[in-house]
Amino acid sequence: MTLPFDTAGVAGAGAMGRGIAQMCVQAGSTVKLYDTQAAAASRARDEIFNQWDRMVDKGRLDAAAAAAHKERLQLVDGLAGFAGCDLVIEAIVERLDVKKTFFAEVEAIVQPHAVLATNTSSLSVTAIAAGLQRPQQMAGYHFFNPVPLMKVVEVVAGLKTDPAVADALMRYTRAMGHTPVQAQDTPGFIVNHAGRAYGTEALRIVGEGVTDFATVDRILKDQVGFRLGPFELLDLTGLDVSHPVMESIYHQYFEEPRYRPSVIAAQRAAGGVVGRKVGEGFYRYVDGKAQVPAEAPVPSVAELPPVWVSTRAARRAELYQLLKDLGAKFETGQSPSLHALTLVAPLGFDVTTVAVVERLDPARTVGIDLLVEDSATRRRVLATNPATRSDMRDAAHALFARDGKAVSVIRDSGGFVTQRVVAAIVNIAADICQQRICSPKDLETAVTLGLGYPLGPLAMGDRWGPANVLEVLFNLQTVYGDPRYRPSPWLRRRGAIGLSLLHEES
């Protein structure tokens, strides 16, 4: 088999099929494009031609190259047109029965050496290949939309896939100018699997009444650096797409608690409140623009009380320096006075638990999230407990907003917002490595290119400390009693011996 594949067939002329066809042509293949609706295939070809014409106009593509590209993109009016193809890529409806029927028909048409590839995002490649005469010739080949811009491609080996087939697809992907990552055939592969925590943990936080959608989005963008908050992202993709994937991965993993979906998403999907495309999701949209509620103003406090900091606070020295910079008055005794604002900075625990364990007056106790160092964030997050007095809440808010940095005040939650979401992301990524679904390197590549995270999940764990992430998870499990937060053995072992999560085992 020579590479790139001399002739490729692409079935499905929707946005995904159109993008795949375009990239296969640009990799040097003659591409035969087919759709059950001939008009759809014609529109897809015309749109691709128009894209190449625009690239020529902008000087990004030579006119002769564009003409050669157009000659290599051909429409066929039936599956028989794929007879001479070295590679057939399917990008049709996500239904196992439909895909199995399609590949059974194509296998009977193509030559024995031909590779069959499915662009499925959530179905089992092994299940799709079951019943074929040559299952070793089939693999998953998962592109992301829009294909020309999303540079990562998951190459997925089914249970019987010949390793040479996966290797050939990896090389072909590079010929397109894309980046391949290799995954085992497991629910969600790499990207959709690793991305579970961001949305589901955010939904769980809101479901507990900790805060609202917009505040969660603000916190995760400003504290961690995500480009879109989880609810902005869900509105962009649409709950009609995202929620079924949440349910699919959850059920395929036999109700693994780490992937548990949310009743909030289920209800909104059922009610058609699915996101930007219908004008209403977690936000309302006017002329395509989200209507984001205003933040609560900084309270006006005539005189701030003295501040006492817990001896067990995370980043205690940094917190003292921050309070000094903000002009706070300190108390340094073994316990706070009756007038002091009491600050705690737990990892994983809620403010209530810390106040009880440390025998602090809960009415004057407020928590601050310091998993991420203050100098690296654009927002501070405070948490009250059910007994916190409003004057103490307002004093803490006013104090930490003195230098103009944004402040969010949320209700009590184990792990605040950032700790919970980051720990869940790192933990699921660690368990992907534990299951040997892919290498740590491919995991980082897939997530940064496929999801656009500011850091790969393992780098995120290294950045804020595997031991700290473990502490958050252990304490979350204590607070909630939920196996959702049990640490992956892969993470626990590396955190225990101080090993980088990016370390590749020999």
- Residues catalogued as catalytic: 121, 142, 154, 192
Residue 7 host element (H or E): strand 7-11
CA–CA dist 54, 376 (Å, integer): 41
SS (H, E, C) 341-382: EEEECCCCCCHHHHHHHCCCCHHHEEEECCCCCHHHCCEEEE
Residue 141 host element (H or E): strand 138-142
- Which ranges of 281-331 would DSSP assign to H, the alpha helix? 316-325
What's the half-sphere exposure (Cβ side, CA atoms, 13 Å) at 413? 26
Reading the block at residue 394, the tokens are 């307002």
Work out the angle between the directed axes of helices 239-252 and 196-207 (0-180°, nearest 10). Answer: 100
CA–CA dist 378, 211 (Å, integer): 19
Under a CB-based contact definition with an 8 Å cutoff, are residues 159 and 185 in contact?
Answer: yes
Query: Which residues sit opposite 8 in a β-bridge?
Result: 31, 87
Phi-psi region of 30 (alpha: psi -120 to 50; beta: other; left: phi over 0): beta
Please name the residues in contact with 102: beta carbons below 8 A apart, sequence gap of 6 or more. Answer: 11, 90, 92
Phi-psi region of 355 (alpha: psi -120 to 50; beta: other; left: phi over 0): alpha
Please give the torsion angle defined by the CA atoms of residues 372, 375, 376 and 379, in that order, rounded to the nearest 10 degrees: 80
Phi-psi region of 115 (alpha: psi -120 to 50; beta: other; left: phi over 0): beta
| Residue whose C-alpha is closest to residue 346's, from 369, 323, 366 | 369
